[in-house]
Structure 1
Amino acid sequence: MEKLGLNEIRKMFRDFYVSKGHYPGKSASLIPKNDKSLLIINSGMAPLKPYFLGVETPPKKRMTTCQKCIRTDDIDNVGITARHGTFFEMMGNFSFGDYFKEESLNWGWEFLTKELKIPEDKLWATVYQDDDEAVEIWKKIGMPAERIVRLGKDDNFWEIGLGPCGPCSEIYYDRGPEFGCGKPDCKPGCDCDRYMEVWNHVFSQFDKQEDGTYKPMEHPNIDTGMGLERIACVMQGTDSIFDVDTIRHILNGVVEMSGVPYEAGNRQNDISIRIVTDHLRSMVFMIADGILPSNESRGYVLRRMIRRASRHGRLLGIEGKFLAKLADRVIEISGDAYPELVQQQDYIKRVITTEESKFEETLGQGTEIINGYIEDLKAAGKTVMDGEEAFKLYDTYGFPIELTQEILADAGMTADVEGFHKNMEEQKERARAGQKDTSGEAWKEKAMPKDLPDTEFTGYDELQSEAEIAAVYVDGEPAEKLSEGDRADVYLDRTPFYAESGGQEYDTGKISCGDSVMKVLNVQKKNGLFRHEVEVQQGEFKKGQRVYASVDAARRHAGARNHSATHLLQKALQEVLGDHVKQAGSKNNADELRFDFTHFEPMTAEELQKTEDLVNEKILEFLPVETEVLPIEEAKKKHAMMLFDSKYGDKVRVVSMGGWSVEFCAGTHVPNTGMIGAFHIVSESGVASGVRRIEAVTGMGVLKRAEHFEKLTRETSEILKTKPEGLVKRAGEFMSELKDAEHELDAVKKAQMGSGAEDLLKNAKEINGVKLVTGKLDGASIDDLRTAADQIKAAGVPSVMVLASVNDGKVTMVVGVTDDLTGRFNAGKLIKPIAKEVKGGGGGKADLAQAGGKDPSGLENAFKTAEALIS
């Protein structure tokens, strides 16, 4: 049997099935498309569900793929065993109502024995106990009857709820008796390690009904799956996926960087090496598909992997940030099969480094805190960390609960996970309670007619339309007429008013008939109906009446300028930052635009300037803005940008700005980019992990902002007594003078603190040969308290000091211990019971700790507690 590399096997599989008339589909993204049931793609057939369910048409009835997958169910076992991994590739061949069992099993046998040249006597097959058809096919192929094993429904029947289901046949590789249990009846299905499943052929031939019966399908399907890493183990004669050539290349990089040898055992070092190796593969592929670290959903899975790998690298002795460098090895061995890794190599490494830096910032402090908790648990004779403390580590220091559990496990302890989740839910409830419903959202839920035809939207072509009042609702009830002063919801048979959608704000304006006028305040769309919220300003209106609908043109044009600028902005961001930029939300109105986009770090001043310049460049090119309605597949061929989670119909509206920016969009736009006038970025900020926000203005908004800042500059110049052109120089001189004054003030304060420290030391109580220095220093900052503690230590007297100050009703406190006493007293431990007296908490190191509190009245008791602890 020839030893084949993993990349070679993948290509052989693809070429083999292409020769059998299969369409070679590319691996889908790890982010499920229009499938809320999955967090991350975890099987080869998952992206193909729409084809199996008949809701989408496949490119061909025969298809083959090698799908990248991630499974996190066994993440806690990754590293502990040599078999478990989070990332894997699943090769498969699929038939959508074309061929069936005979072809599928014959081709499977042919690929394994003729292409891979696996000895026939090494292969076994399992079938569903009642599937005589599959048994006969295997016999016809040449599989001896004694190597065909019938198993029950739990093992060889595939079904998930109602719908397509059916029996399956699994192909096993016999690793030899040395891996077996020695029982005479040992065969596939046994719990020992002798037989390895390499390929599952699922025969979807039934449609499970609600009454539990199985109805034969008119056009049965084939769905097979063979793990690439697993078959590579067979072909390379290895017992572990970590010894497969491509994965071993990554593992060797971990070994070289850490200087720790890999012995393929269960030492902590071996476990850590495997965890770093596996998680590197997952994080690289996840980031390439647009997943960014966050505290929710699939972003949390990524964050957990990066932080877990970072921690285990530290356990191996690797210092500083290292994951991005090792990511090069993943890209090196997988880049040919997945070119998106090479295209986004710099971006992938920047995301990893950014997240690793964030973790590095909090790891030291968080580890110190958790170690303090562990010491407290040991002192109290407990082994379970309180859920509130576990949540604090997550909320304050960014420790995933799983990381806390790992660290606790090293100390033989556990965490109250249920209590952790209870605290998490309480925080979410507080957040929900703080959110207020807007009138617009509440208005969307009002009663509406159910028997009206869809409203005809005329607003792309005209701002004024004749229409008929199709229905009137007052306070949620149908009405026949409206009078002056009435507020109501009005439905027209046709309207030029744009309803709020896709981030674009609704139009306003008026509806009139003769002298009767009602003001349009808001427009929403639901189920094809446009609902106009109106207020009658004069006259009367009746259901069925012909009216004249007029959009506020100035407001519409201003909103259109901002909407069109948003399209230019998205394209500019992709050119400046990279193709990973995707829209995560937007808001356009007459005054400004707001654009949320996926990006992992704040933009630099240079990047912001490049983006703004590029948008203005395209505005000044006076690009034509053209729209056309196309079949969705044709629109995709134009490489039009689309919102990933949005659902589109068979036909879509495509907006092209000179062919430079091309997007799916149902909104309103200017006919030419030159009409935007100008574009200026007002701010850039973070709104969520991995999501940034740009706020900007266009047209008159740019001019008004320039006028505003010109006024500010003039007024500031007058205050600083200089001309506008000398403002920067004068501000620099002013800041220099201010710093000099601050230094002088600091020197005075230090002298006062030194004097105060001497007085405190003179008045200190001596307890068992130790000076206990306590005192309240009015108006002192935390830095002032630390300075006083250092000055007391400098006196060379064995001392424990508890110093506090009160500012704005809150207590600040430090506990210090001179170096010669740190063997007897630990400041980090002393401060906890002391701070409780002022309803606070804190922590720190053995020689210095700090805390905050809410109750100044408890200070005297805090000092007494300190005395009791020293005694």
Structure 2
Amino acid sequence: MMTGKEIRDKYLKFFASKGHKILPSASLIPHNDPSILWTAAGMVPFKPYFTGAAKPEVTRVTTCQKCLRTPDIDSVGRTARHHTFFEMLGNFSFGDYFKNEAIPWAWEFVTEYLGLEPDKLWISIYEDDDEAFNIWHNKVGIPENRIVRMGKDTNFWEIGVGPCGPCSEIYYDLGAGRGCGSPDCAVGCDCDRYLEIWNLVFIQFFRDEEGNYSPLQNKGIDTGMGLERVASVLQNVKTNFDTDLLRDIMDFTGDLTGKRYGSSAEVDLALKVIADHSRAVTFAIADGAFPSNEGRGYVLRRLLRRAVRFGLVLGVEEPFLYKVAGAVIDKMGDTYPELVKNSRLITRVIRTEEERFGETLAQGTDILNKLIQEAKEAGINYIDGGQAFRLYDTYGFPVELTQEIAAENGLSVDEEGFTNAMEQQRQRARSARQETEYLSEKAARLKSVLDQVGETVFVGYETLSGKSRIKAIFANDEVVEQAEAGQDVELVLDITPCYAESGGQVSDHAKIIAESTEVLIEEVTRPVEGLHLHRGRVTGGVIRVNDAVEVQVDARRRMNIARNHSATHLLHKSLKEVLGDHVNQSGSLVTPDRLRFDFTHFAAIQPDELARVEKTVNDAVLSNLQVETMETTLDEARSMGAMALFDEKYGDRVRVVKMGDFSLELCGGTHVKSTAEVGMFKLLGESSVGSGLRRVEAVTGEGAMDYLRAKEEQLDLIARTVRAMPHEVVHRVETMAQELRALEKEAEALRARLARFEVQSMLDGAREIAGIKVLAARTSATDMDSLRAMLDLLRDKLGSGVIMLGTAAGGKVNLVAGVSKDLVGKGLHAGKLIKEIAPLVGGGGGGRPDMAQAGGKDPSKLDNALEKVYALVSKQAGQ
């Protein structure tokens, strides 16, 4: 039997023998691609090469790409093939070979290297792709009756504007026993008989905005073979989960939980989901994702909690998934060394999230108990489906657990309402989900401009000004020949000293000057490789294509940015020294005013640790370390010990920034010439931005001076306020605080005495209505807490009776009502009482039969409203 690892190795070595460069898998977090959350296909890292937006270093590449998709998350474990995490084998050509090579190589690999029986293989092609048909039939020798022509919906790859082309797929016939039994069962049927194992996409057309197709000059190949699928065929098992790629993890989980795979459908489903999701979360965390409440962090949290919920099915209530992650690392760490490198981080993040989820489950139980109580009070015998879904979606509370607890209380769950709410969420997710696009419409136009005018030469490392020429002008997203004062424009120059936003560093601001013309540039981007786009406004004259201009970068702004950027490098190293080597940068923002730095860490940073980090950075600043930059190979940079960011994709040539012997990082940003130019470094604080993820903010240079100046002004103001010299402020404030606490204690005692007098006065005003003692009165209480405390005091004194208290403060009304238990049994209801009184003061509220509260907006009506309480009590008593 061929293992998954052997299949992976065979594939990569086969295409290496065909002149392909084997590249390691890219990160699951797409590099510089905000349109997608995850790398969901083998071609995602190579999108710029297919479009021409970037130039590949080699034209033939092969990879085994780790992928993550979640649209079909609820199908995982219920079908033979659905996964969230999977491995995609692929070979790619960027303007090199085409169908004549790709098709025979595919056939050679599956038949000769994998040993699949030719008579069990079927081929699909796009219905009009005669070229592919001729190669498959005449060159490879596939019988005509095993080549199936299929329509555009299945065998033509395109998404919007950009490169596109027909597909050809290789199917394996698993036999009639795996089919649906229909006489029409054939390639393309939804049943499991014909399994697609490899898709070849022929990128040969460009689709424009009008839907016209034109041949590409440089054609491309993009193929994808699912490793789990082909392993299931070669290992002769019914599902992907029965392959060694997943079965080993399932068996580990079974041993851990005392459950055996194959013992029941419920156990099998749980083991499958845990195996799949544990791979997904392990790889995602290794690549720098962390659980949170938004974006990819939310996806990661959902996967992790879903796996934990299925652990409950196996009877596991303690954290366990971090141990399963360890099994994933043991299984796949030799192929993906990032798992081993980040193993401690992975297990700590997962265990922390599991422990937090335990608290969330407790919170969900409390909410469910309230829903049960409300349903009983309302006389309803079921839990609303929408509420059950909110528990499931927001708090991760399993619907099965909701059903079980509800049943113990004699209630059911509205399953139809739950299903509808879940389907609505799926529809929202589908509509919001952005497809994997090769190129947006605007980027396609920019690529066309790049082809016409050539690349922008960036000279901003060496100079802050220079001569240039306008090569293209965009106004309102349209290419124009000129623009006048008052117009917003985007300019393409042949040479620029302006740094484009990248790597967390904001772009330069600049002026573009030509005789009587001036353009103020407020943003510079690099939407396609080799092209800088300068966005700004024409403030004088007319700017034209081919105008000779001078570009002047805002030097003061650039220097402030450089100070903050260099400080992030010093900060990164200092955090590692103080907190530990597990600290890794996971994001940053560098602006002229301040810097923000996100990094991996598991607890709040203690004040003494923050002080040590700040001192370490400032020591490096005062050491006046020389800041050097150099270009070298990626391998050489790594051998030097240079730190690299988790989500950056680097070419063979990289830029290294060295600060003495203190810091060495790969970085394309702008920096000071020596650390002394950073000036003073001041941490502003730290916070949590997700499970295992912390954030610090800081200022340097001018920003630090402004910060200190503001602190001095605050200190002077406090000194004047407390009538002390600045150096005496602390002692004076401490003395005043002690005096204040003494006064508050005295005031509290006085308030308590006053309340007792007020209570007695109000009790004297109680009336008897239909044999019931009723008290409705305005009080001096200032807030709802005080009002409820007053209610409790009166209830103890009054005994059996009805109480309604009201207070008016700050233009608002607060009301609270109480009914003694003996009267609740006779039909009196505080919630119903307050629902009728609250509208009289412009408000609303409600509550339990024994206690209720409300608010209102019209204090002028409070006395009249309280007077009506007596009539309402009489009415309730009569009923």
The two structures have a TM-score, normalised by structure 1, of 0.69
- Alpha-carbon distance in 2 for matches of 1:404, 1:596: 39
Q: 2:122 aligns with which of 122, 125, 129?
A: 125
How far off is 1:818 after superposition? 7.7
- Range that drifts further, 161-170 or 851-860: 851-860
Give the counterpart letter for 1:165 in structure 2: G
**In the alignment, is residue 166 of structure 1 matched against residue 166 of structure 2?**
yes
Alignment of 1:156-555 (within 5 A): 157-161=155-159, 163-174=163-174, 177=177, 179-182=178-181, 187-193=186-192, 195=193, 197=195, 199-202=197-200, 204=202, 206-207=204-205, 221-235=220-234, 238-245=237-244, 247-248=246-247, 250-251=249-250, 267=266, 274-309=272-307, 319=317, 323-324=321-322, 326-349=324-347, 351-352=349-350, 399=394, 411-414=414-417
Aligned residues: 804
Pick closer, same or farther for the CA change 1:569–1:828 going to 2, 3 Å: farther
Q: Which residue pairs with 1:676 in the alignment? A: 678
Q: Which residue pairs with 1:153 in the alignment? A: 151
How far off is 1:254 after superposition? 6.0
Give the counterpart letter for 1:31 in structure 2: I
Q: 2:113 aligns with which of 100, 111, 114?
A: 111
Q: Which residue pairs with 1:581 in the alignment? A: 585
- Alpha-carbon distance in 1 for matches of 2:845, 2:358: 21
User: Gaps spanning 5+ residues in structure 1: where?
Assistant: 429-451, 469-475, 480-487, 536-545
The answer (yes or no) to whether the contact 1:641–1:664 under 8 Å persists in 2 is no
Q: 1:47 aligns with which of 45, 48, 68?
A: 45
Give the counterpart letter for 2:226 in structure 1: G
Pick closer, same or farther for the CA change 1:453–1:39 going to 2, 3 Å: closer
Deviations 1:277-324 (A, max 9, x none): 543332332233233445544344334334544555567765576654
The answer (yes or no) to whether the contact 1:827–1:844 under 8 Å persists in 2 is no
- Alpha-carbon distance in 1 for matches of 2:400, 2:674: 58
Q: 1:67 aligns with which of 65, 68, 71?
A: 65
- Alpha-carbon distance in 1 for matches of 2:385, 2:395: 15
**In the alignment, is residue 593 of structure 1 matched against residue 610 of structure 2?**
no
Q: Which residue pairs with 1:808 in the alignment? A: 810
Pick closer, same or farther for the CA change 1:100–1:230 going to 2, 3 Å: closer
Deviations 1:564-607 (A, max 9, x none): 4344335545665756424442211xxx5233546687544344
Pick closer, same or farther for the CA change 1:24–1:524 going to 2, 3 Å: closer
The answer (yes or no) to whether the contact 1:335–1:341 under 8 Å persists in 2 is yes
- Alpha-carbon distance in 2 for matches of 1:341, 1:824: 67
Q: Which residue pairs with 2:443 in the alignment? A: none
The answer (yes or no) to whether the contact 1:71–1:86 under 8 Å persists in 2 is yes
The answer (yes or no) to whether the contact 2:88–2:227 under 8 Å persists in 1 is yes
The answer (yes or no) to whether the contact 1:754–1:788 under 8 Å persists in 2 is no
- Alpha-carbon distance in 1 for matches of 2:872, 2:349: 47
How far off is 1:673 after superposition? 1.2
Q: 1:89 aligns with which of 78, 87, 90?
A: 87
- Alpha-carbon distance in 2 for matches of 1:671, 1:752: 70
- Range that drifts further, 715-724 or 345-354: 715-724
- Alpha-carbon distance in 1 for matches of 2:165, 2:264: 41
- Alpha-carbon distance in 1 for matches of 2:54, 2:585: 28
- Alpha-carbon distance in 2 for matches of 1:823, 1:354: 48
Deviations 1:153-175 (A, max 9, x none): 36862321564423413231516
- Alpha-carbon distance in 2 for matches of 1:456, 1:235: 52
Pick closer, same or farther for the CA change 1:238–1:264 going to 2, 3 Å: farther
- Alpha-carbon distance in 2 for matches of 1:845, 1:645: 54
The two structures have a TM-score, normalised by structure 2, of 0.68
Identity level (%): 35
User: Gaps spanning 5+ residues in structure 2: where?
Assistant: 404-411, 433-452, 470-481, 526-531, 541-547
Alignment of 1:708-787 (within 5 A): 777-785=779-787, 787=789
- Range that drifts further, 227-236 or 714-723: 714-723
How far off is 1:30 after superposition? 1.8
Give the counterpart letter for 2:414 in structure 1: A
How far off is 1:199 after superposition? 1.4
Q: Which residue pairs with 1:441 in the alignment? A: none
Give the 3-state SS of the residue equivalent to 1:172 in structure 2. Answer: strand
The answer (yes or no) to whether the contact 2:614–2:681 under 8 Å persists in 1 is yes
Give the 3-state SS of the residue equivalent to 1:399 in structure 2. Answer: helix
How far off is 1:749 after superposition? 5.4
The answer (yes or no) to whether the contact 1:159–1:165 under 8 Å persists in 2 is yes
The answer (yes or no) to whether the contact 1:68–1:88 under 8 Å persists in 2 is yes
How far off is 1:73 after superposition? 1.7
Give the counterpart letter for 1:91 in structure 2: L
How far off is 1:509 after superposition? 12
The answer (yes or no) to whether the contact 2:464–2:498 under 8 Å persists in 1 is no
Whose relative contact order is higher, 1 or 2, with alpha carbons under 8 Å and at least 6 apart?
Answer: 2
- Range that drifts further, 680-689 or 301-310: 680-689
Pick closer, same or farther for the CA change 1:160–1:533 going to 2, 3 Å: closer
Give the 3-state SS of the residue equivalent to 1:28 in structure 2. Answer: coil
Deviations 1:176-198 (A, max 9, x none): 62x344456755444443x2515
- Alpha-carbon distance in 2 for matches of 1:185, 1:346: 53
Pick closer, same or farther for the CA change 1:556–1:135 going to 2, 3 Å: closer
The answer (yes or no) to whether the contact 2:774–2:801 under 8 Å persists in 1 is yes
- Alpha-carbon distance in 2 for matches of 1:174, 1:467: 64
- Alpha-carbon distance in 2 for matches of 1:287, 1:771: 65
Pick closer, same or farther for the CA change 1:531–1:327 going to 2, 3 Å: closer
- Alpha-carbon distance in 2 for matches of 1:420, 1:30: 28
Q: Which residue pairs with 1:605 in the alignment? A: 607
The answer (yes or no) to whether the contact 1:383–1:413 under 8 Å persists in 2 is no
How far off is 1:102 after superposition? 1.3
Q: 1:10 aligns with which of 8, 15, 37?
A: 8
Give the counterpart letter for 1:302 in structure 2: L
Pick closer, same or farther for the CA change 1:606–1:759 going to 2, 3 Å: same
- Alpha-carbon distance in 1 for matches of 2:206, 2:67: 27
- Alpha-carbon distance in 2 for matches of 1:95, 1:550: 42
How far off is 1:105 after superposition? 0.8
- Alpha-carbon distance in 1 for matches of 2:823, 2:7: 66
Give the 3-state SS of the residue equivalent to 2:682 in structure 1. Answer: strand
- Alpha-carbon distance in 1 for matches of 2:258, 2:792: 40
How far off is 1:123 after superposition? 3.5
- Range that drifts further, 691-700 or 636-645: 636-645
- Alpha-carbon distance in 2 for matches of 1:271, 1:41: 26
Pick closer, same or farther for the CA change 1:777–1:204 going to 2, 3 Å: same
The answer (yes or no) to whether the contact 1:625–1:670 under 8 Å persists in 2 is yes
- Alpha-carbon distance in 2 for matches of 1:246, 1:858: 73
Give the 3-state SS of the residue equivalent to 1:168 in structure 2. Answer: strand
Pick closer, same or farther for the CA change 1:828–1:223 going to 2, 3 Å: farther
- Alpha-carbon distance in 2 for matches of 1:273, 1:410: 26
Give the 3-state SS of the residue equivalent to 2:585 in structure 1. Answer: coil
Give the 3-state SS of the residue equivalent to 1:100 in structure 2. Answer: helix
Q: Which residue pairs with 1:26 in the alignment? A: 24
Pick closer, same or farther for the CA change 1:72–1:723 going to 2, 3 Å: same
Give the counterpart letter for 1:123 in structure 2: K
Pick closer, same or farther for the CA change 1:711–1:201 going to 2, 3 Å: closer
- Range that drifts further, 730-739 or 574-583: 730-739
